[in-house]
Structure 1
Amino acid sequence: MHPAANFELIIGMFLVVVGLHYLARRVSLPPAAALIVGGCAVAFVPGVQGIAIDPELVLVLFLPPLLMDGAWFTAIAPFRRHMAGILSLAVGAVFFTTAVVAIVTKVLMPQLPWAACVALGAILSPPDAVSARAVLQRVRLPRRLTTLLEGESLLNDAAGLVLFRFAVAAVLTGGFHLGAATGTFFLLVAGGIAVGAAIGGLWVALLRRLGDDTLMIAATVLVCWSAYIAAERLHVSGVIAVVTAGLTCGWFQHVVFDARVRIRALAFWQVLVFLLEAAVFLLIGLSFRGLLDRVGGLGMVVDTMARPVLLIVAAVIVARFLWIFGVDAGLTILRRIGWTRRQPLGPRAAVVMSWAGMRGVVTLAVALSLPEAMPARDLMLVTAFAVILVTVLVQGTSLGWIIRRMKPAEDGSTRPPLDLHAAETMLFRAQLAVVEREAVAADGTVIHPQLLRRYRTRATVADAFDGTAEERDVAIASHFDVIIAAVTAGRAELVRLHRAGRIDDETLHDLEHDLDLEELAAAAAKG
């Protein structure tokens, strides 16, 4: 295909993304499901060629920025607090699911070598960070469950990819050594952490010296790919390197970014992640036609592969339930005999966690990277695609309903010492202390009376409120609704004056920017 035609295809694909996202919102369908279904439909439009995905390009193009986005906004304290639970899911559940899938595959197809069965299990076992983000953005979960799912999605790809590489090597060479594999696994993880920390530290040092908004944002965007490529070149875990760099950058961005850079960087990053995330699901759908063409058509899949594929998909789903409920039961027993203080999830939360195991781009890309010599390669590709479809279209679309039915309770031990209202009150008092000091001259003359009144009001209004927390929230929302309405009216008046020729473009842009900042501040305070 001509390069210009490739570019036109990419632009057309993003136009389809916008349309499908709009349609998904109108019909209350998760965007990930709409994009996959839409991609499958577009793939069969006459004249549209099947998409051939380069698995290595998919991993290096899409995985680093989407992992970076998740790590950047990860709360460090809950992440560390629930590290044992996160590792149980990201490593334990991945290994257990791999074993279950390998056993089921071996029973269904005894002629397959064990290493090939393990390779299929490693492909299907890790839930996907992109799929998890796409679903978690649309549901409300207790803080503990959100932390566990987000942490799992950040780390489990490393375990799955390492397992896959060892299994493929065992198929091709006929040899496997558990001790060497275990040592290599920990070396890959430790190396990834070291590379990610180094890249993140370099980013912090660099941003303190750049002094230019555009350069700072560009450097921030390049961190994820720098960490991933550097780690892979050094033969350590690129996934762990990106996560470590993202956690480092997310921790220090509050001190190396000023407000202007942060607003601009966040806006740019949100658009970039939106396009990449949407492109992932659309590419999954578009690749469906190429997959069917490879294996001989839909009829061949139904006639020869339907039974083993459906049983393996069921094994993937059931394995996650078995692991989560088994670990939770063990934790309950240990707590009762006094060996641990960790709070079990409970049956309701365990159901939600078990159902939230969506697969996506990593599963597809890794399946496509299978060597041609791999036994039952076509079956593995079809199974990988079936798992993605079932988990995203069935589990992803029904997760909100499961949460509403289960109503998992919030774990009180995860709540911070201060709620939003208390923290905001302390912030206002700290600001007032500075204003009181700077607003008064050495002789006692007040030189900034308006600032003094404003900050005193902000610092004392919370203490003066006598209503309940719910009444306070309503009053605050009403207060900032008025501010937002005033900003809207001001913006309309600016446009009117500009259209009437009474102000120039520069005045319009300057005053509009001030109104934008005021509206952002009011919306954040209200929310």
Structure 2
Amino acid sequence: MHAVETFELVLVLLAIVIGLSWLAQRLRLPPSAALLVGGGGLAFVPGLPHVELDPELALAFFLPPLLMDGAYFTALGRFRRHLPGILSLAVGAVVFTTLVVGVVAHWLVPALPWAACFALGAIVSPPDAVSARAVLQHVRLPRRLRAMLEGESLLNDATGLVLFRFAVAATLSGVFDAGDAAQSFLVLALGGALVGLVAGGVWILIVRQMDDPMLILAATLMLSWASYLAGEALHVSGVIATVIAGLILGWYQHVIFPAGVRLRAGAVGGTLVFVLEALVFILIGFSLRGVLDRLGGIGAVAQTMAVPVMGVVLAVIVARFAWILGSDAILALLQRLGLRRARPLGLRQGVILGWAGMRGVVTLAVALSLPAQMPGRDLMLVTAFAVIFATVVVQGTTLGALIGLVRPRDLDPPAKLSLYQAEAAMARVRNALVERHAVGPDGTVIHPQLLEQSRQRLRSTERFAEDAQASYPRMESHFALLQASIEVARAELIRIHRAGLIEDEVLHNLERDLDVEEMGLQFMLET
């Protein structure tokens, strides 16, 4: 395909992404599901070119910035608190699912070597960070479940990739050493963490020397790919390197980024993540065409592979439930025996956690990287697509309804301070500073208006924090009036600009002030 035609195809895909995302919002569906189905349908439209994802390029291009974004917004305190549960999912559940799928695949296709069956299990076992993020941002979950799902999706790819590499090597060579595999996993994980720490430290040193917001944003964007590619170049886990660097970025950005950079980073990062996530899912759908054409069409695939494919899809879902509910039963038993640190999730939370196991770009990229001489390669490719479609489309679209039906409880203790109490604490220290500097040495008030505004803000925030529930209706009316005042101010600003009474620079500066004020109001209403 000519370079200009490739560019035109990308533009067409972006237009389709926007249309499908808008349709998903109107239908209240997860955009990932709409994009996946839409991409699969469009792949068979006559005249459209064949699109195939290069597996190494897909992992290197799409995965790092999306992993970085997920790590950036990870609540580090909850991540540390629930790390045992996260590791149980990211390592234990992946290994268990690999074994279960391997046994089921060998039972359904006895001619397939055991090592190849376990390679298939490794391909479909790790839930995907991209898919999890795409679905979770549209549902409300208890804090503990969200922390576990987000943490799992950040770390489990490393487990799946290690299992896959050893299973493929065992299939082609006929030799497998479990001790060697465990040692390799530790080297990859610890080495990736070290690379991520170094990459994050270098980023801090570089950004602290910069003043230009554009340079800071560019260096920050480069961090995701730099950490991933550095890890892969050193033959350790690029996934873990990217996650660790992202956690460092999320922790230190509060003290390194100026306010203006943070505002721009939110806009730039949000747009980039939306485009990359959307393209990933629509390209997964597009890639299905090439696989089906090579196998003789969808009819031939359904006739020869339907039973083993459906068996593996069911095995993937059942294995996750078995691991989660089984582990939770053990925790409940330990708690009854007096182990206070054992904190079972409970049946409601376990059901939600079990159903939220969406697969995506990593499963597809790993499947596409299978060697041509791999036994059962075609079956593995079709199965990978089936697992992605089943988990994203079926589980992703029904997760919200299941949450409403099951009503999981938030068992995590709330933080000591609420949003409004934290705001009152900030108002107190701000007022204390103004009180010290608003009065001169002779007792004369130097800044009377500023002092009165500070005292009024402190009184309002403390009064609201004391009884936010009773004060909220009055505050909501207050915000609605402020929103209306911003809208009339913006209309007047545009009117006087259209009349030629102010310069463009004045329009942009005042409009930015109104936008920042409106964003602050929207944030207060949402929280």
- TM interval, shorter chain, is over 0.9
Does the CA-based 8 Å contact 1:32-1:134 persist in structure 2? yes
* Superposition deviation, residue 108 in structure 1: 1.1
| Secondary structure of 1:209's aligned partner | coil
Alignment of 1:374-393 (within 5 A): 374-393=374-393
* Superposition deviation, residue 440 in structure 1: 1.9
* Superposition deviation, residue 175 in structure 1: 1.2
Given the two structures, how large is their TM-score scaled by the length of structure 2? 0.98
Report the Cα distance in structure 1 between the residues aligned to 2:81 and 2:464, rounded to whole angstroms. 35
2:171 corresponds to: 171
2:271 corresponds to: 271
Report the Cα distance in structure 1 between the residues aligned to 2:59 and 2:476, rounded to whole angstroms. 43
Does residue 487 in structure 1 map to residue 486 in structure 2?
yes
* Superposition deviation, residue 437 in structure 1: 1.6
Does the CA-based 8 Å contact 2:144-2:412 persist in structure 1? no
Report the Cα distance in structure 1 between the residues aligned to 2:372 and 2:318, rounded to whole angstroms. 30
Report the Cα distance in structure 2 between the residues aligned to 1:179 and 1:50, rounded to whole angstroms. 43
| Secondary structure of 1:210's aligned partner | coil
Report the Cα distance in structure 2 between the residues aligned to 1:137 and 1:465, rounded to whole angstroms. 29
1:92 corresponds to: 92
1:117-138 deviation per Cα after TM superposition (whole angstroms, max 9, x unaligned): 1100000000011111111111
Report the Cα distance in structure 2 between the residues aligned to 1:190 and 1:371, rounded to whole angstroms. 28
Are the structure 2 counterparts of residues 327 and 466 from structure 1 closer, same or farther at C-alpha, using a change threshold of 3 Å? closer
1:421 corresponds to: 420
Does the CA-based 8 Å contact 2:427-2:461 persist in structure 1? no
1:259 corresponds to: 259
Given the two structures, how large is their TM-score scaled by the length of structure 1? 0.98
Alignment: residue pair count: 526
Structure 1: 5+ residue runs without aligned partners?
Answer: none
| Secondary structure of 1:69's aligned partner | helix
Amino acid at match of 1:374: M
Alignment of 1:67-86 (within 5 A): 67-86=67-86
Amino acid at match of 2:455: R
| Secondary structure of 2:454's aligned partner | helix
Does residue 504 in structure 1 map to residue 503 in structure 2?
yes
1:459-505 deviation per Cα after TM superposition (whole angstroms, max 9, x unaligned): 12233359843222333332222222211111111100011111111
Structure 2: 5+ residue runs without aligned partners?
Answer: none
1:360-389 deviation per Cα after TM superposition (whole angstroms, max 9, x unaligned): 111011000000011010000000000011
Report the Cα distance in structure 2 between the residues aligned to 1:444 and 1:385, rounded to whole angstroms. 76
Does the CA-based 8 Å contact 2:94-2:122 persist in structure 1? yes
Does residue 209 in structure 1 map to residue 197 in structure 2?
no
Larger displacement relative to structure 2 (14-23 or 336-345): 336-345
2:431 corresponds to: 432
Amino acid at match of 1:72: Y
Amino acid at match of 2:23: L
1:4 corresponds to: 4
| Secondary structure of 2:209's aligned partner | helix
* Superposition deviation, residue 446 in structure 1: 1.6
Report the Cα distance in structure 2 between the residues aligned to 1:416 and 1:468, rounded to whole angstroms. 17
2:286 corresponds to: 286
Identity %: 58
Alignment of 1:300-379 (within 5 A): 300-379=300-379
Report the Cα distance in structure 2 between the residues aligned to 1:222 and 1:255, rounded to whole angstroms. 20
Q: Which runs of 4+ in 1 moved over 3 A?
A: 462-469
Amino acid at match of 2:470: E
* Superposition deviation, residue 210 in structure 1: 0.9
1:188 corresponds to: 188
1:226 corresponds to: 226
Does the CA-based 8 Å contact 2:33-2:392 persist in structure 1? yes
2:41 corresponds to: 41
Report the Cα distance in structure 2 between the residues aligned to 1:16 and 1:75, rounded to whole angstroms. 33
1:443 corresponds to: 442
Amino acid at match of 1:526: L
Amino acid at match of 1:409: R
Report the Cα distance in structure 1 between the residues aligned to 2:245 and 2:327, rounded to whole angstroms. 30
* Superposition deviation, residue 181 in structure 1: 1.2
Does the CA-based 8 Å contact 2:420-2:465 persist in structure 1? no
* Superposition deviation, residue 511 in structure 1: 0.9
1:195-241 deviation per Cα after TM superposition (whole angstroms, max 9, x unaligned): 00111111111111011100000001010000000000000000000
Report the Cα distance in structure 1 between the residues aligned to 2:372 and 2:5, rounded to whole angstroms. 29
1:472 corresponds to: 471
1:236-293 deviation per Cα after TM superposition (whole angstroms, max 9, x unaligned): 0000000000000100000001111100111000000000000000001111111111
Report the Cα distance in structure 1 between the residues aligned to 2:188 and 2:447, rounded to whole angstroms. 59
1:428-453 deviation per Cα after TM superposition (whole angstroms, max 9, x unaligned): 10111111122222222222222211
Does the CA-based 8 Å contact 1:436-1:452 persist in structure 2? yes
